[in-house]
Amino acid sequence: MVGQPYIVMAADIPFKLPVGKEGVQLKPVLEQLVNCDDIFAVKIGLLTTDKKSSLEEVTTAIHDAKKKVIYDMQKMGQDIPDITLKQAALFGSVADAVIVYPKSLGHWVAAYEGAVEKSGSKLITVLYMTDGYDILYNRKELTKQILSYTKESKINFFGTVLPANKPEIIDAFIEVFNEHDVHPEIFSPGLEAQGGKAFDIGKRGANGIAGRAIYGAKDPIAAARELKAELIRGYEERK
């Protein structure tokens, strides 16, 4: 989306809570971050757009805060192509990018058709998760299938999600990207709270995704500024 790597705030919190219930809410956090240039985008999902908050209301508030919107579909657990296409088209119609965790090439193609071709959004692909279920060899093979398909079809493989707390995994997939002469934006979740370091992913040219480290901080603006500074420091020292 931009030149240098940037910070995405993961909003794994409700947009607003029912009256009388206490907890962190996205709406007041966004109000603090309106003039914070260190956060480029906000990632939302099922936890954010609950029954109390419509998708349009949430995405409008994020755009009003001068941030891009990334909708995360990966926790929906859905790999039926027809349904994936419809979901990606729906979320792509209000978000600047949609995240999908493909189980097969057909699943990925459906997400691409929905988010990009039908809605004009961008598609970010989760290639590896650290939940204990992903096997590196299998995910690399699926990645090769997707990259070969995009090259043959002359379509853009925009972005990918790879774990911030496993820089060796990022390196393994960068090798695959280089083999196919494809250079997507990398989005790395898990900064601070899950052990990922902004400096380490910055050295790999990746964008950082952080949730609690920002919205849970006493000063979200200062926390975002510190993460962005470390990210850029790593980026400038990369080989």
Q: pLDDT by residue (tens digit) across 167-219?
A: 999 999 999 999 999 999 999 999 988 889 999 999 999 999 999 999 999 99
Average pLDDT over residues 53-73: 92
Q: What angle do CA 99, 121, 163 make, to 5 degrees?
A: 25
pLDDT at 77: 59
In this prediction, what percent of the chain has a pLDDT beyond 70?
Answer: 95
CA–CA distance, 90 with 72 (Å, rounded to integer): 12
If you search the block for the tokens 């790395």, which residue do you land on?
188
Domains and CATH numbers, the chain: 7-236 (3.20.20.70)
CB 210 within 8 A of CB 9: yes
Report the run of H or E that residue 138 belongs to, with start and end. Answer: helix 136-153
The string of pLDDT tens digits covering residues 130-158 is: 876 788 989 999 999 999 999 999 999 99
pLDDT score, position 226? 96
- CA 131 to chain centroid, in Å, comes to 17
